[in-house]
Structure 1
């Protein structure tokens, strides 16, 4: 992975600021508008991001104390919390979003070097060092800042984050069913291969569009022969 702990802390801060700035001053009408995710209003998305900060704060607590503290009590509870959050008044939802982000930042700042090395378990069941927490958060806030459908695009995200995101998604897709694709970012020269079914399809375009394509978001990529870029299975 082409990322460092300093990178992920920076991207987490940048993504958090992008997300918070995007929703600043919103009232009920803006919050109730559709997000970029099918079936979710912006309230659903904001509730999800706020709940994610609280869940990652659980992992920070685990790293700090050694006491096993899962991100969520269950996936059913996670989904119920998002639904409940989507019904909160705009002001209450905004306060939860800000407060949860502040608590996560304060918790990570307080971790010692040894605590950063402590092992925790993600919601997907992966055992990782606590140094992975800022990366998990940066993915959430950066990608979902785009999903707010409020004007933020993948082109507004840090280039280093986009490269790391493409690395991360490609790694996860390598063992998933789907078409074989070779991707090249025309503005950076970076290249990714997705093994899969059939002869590989060559797809090229700007790094921001490559990252959007891999993440399953709207994009402007086509194959080099002019045909549509192959549809990919879900990322997460």
Structure 2
């Protein structure tokens, strides 16, 4: 399995940020009010959320660098939701400016981290700076697809998909063993050893999209149990903590 390290994560964050800013740069005022791929959210809601999580992660690092801690969102989950609703209706130019500023702030914060600094504790999920970087990578990569601008999960890299396999193992129900079999790649097992085994086969990106609660874009998924075709199994909710991927 491909492993993301503190040395490689900043470049991944920069690439993901460039994708989001590139998409936002194409939107007109009408585009930002159009529905996103997230139920009940416009593209403006998604852009506002991206700004919110980028600023939230940046301040996690800014406080951590001073030996202090602070909650992820100002005002907690309610504060997060209010901020998204307030900003969702902005014009396209405002969204572009906000996205660029918030992502640059976050990239600057992560770009300044060195050595043991990646292990500095932050409030997010009781983890460390590295965990915060991985979270922002997930947010930017997944929500770039949620914007519904022609970019789907088929664009996700192998390292990103394999990271999702690891992070989203918590979505496997107790007593189940999911054997993920990407076409042409080694299998990965998630869940309870000795549990009821279900094989999920298909393109790597389709398996990752399904685990992330997104629509597979290549239509390749197939589930089997005891060699018989079955429905794709139900998944548990997104891993416990602040529900960053909606």
Q: Give the TM-score normalised by structure 1.
A: 0.89
Q: Report how many residues are paired.
A: 231
Matched, 1:108 2:127: no
C-alpha distance 181-115 of structure 1, shift in aligned 2 (>3 A)? closer
* DSSP 3-state at the match of 1:151: coil
Structure 1 residue runs without a partner (length 5+): none
Partner of 1:223: 223
Which 10-residue stretch deviates more, 9-18 or 39-48?
9-18
**Cα contact 1:214–1:235 (8 A) shared by 2:** no
Matched, 1:162 2:165: no
Partner of 2:182: 185
Matched, 1:21 2:19: no
- Give distance in 1, aligned partners of 2:11 and 2:179: 29
Instruction: Output aligned runs, 1:56-95, within 5 Å.
Output: 56-73=57-74, 74-95=76-97
Deviation at 1:179, TM superposition (A): 5.5
Matched, 1:213 2:213: no
Deviation at 1:147, TM superposition (A): 1.0
Q: Give the TM-score normalised by structure 2.
A: 0.85
Deviation at 1:114, TM superposition (A): 4.3
> Per-residue displacement from partner, 1:178-226 (whole Å, max 9, x unpaired)?
8653221123223122349x83222111110110011111123121344
* DSSP 3-state at the match of 1:119: coil
Structure 2 residue runs without a partner (length 5+): 240-246
- Give distance in 2, aligned partners of 1:193 and 1:132: 20
Deviation at 1:76, TM superposition (A): 0.4
RMSD between superposed Cα atoms in Å? 2.2
- Runs of 4+ in structure 1 deviating by more than 6 angstroms, as ranges, are none
- Give distance in 2, aligned partners of 1:3 and 1:231: 28
- Give distance in 2, aligned partners of 1:118 and 1:83: 32
Partner of 1:151: 150
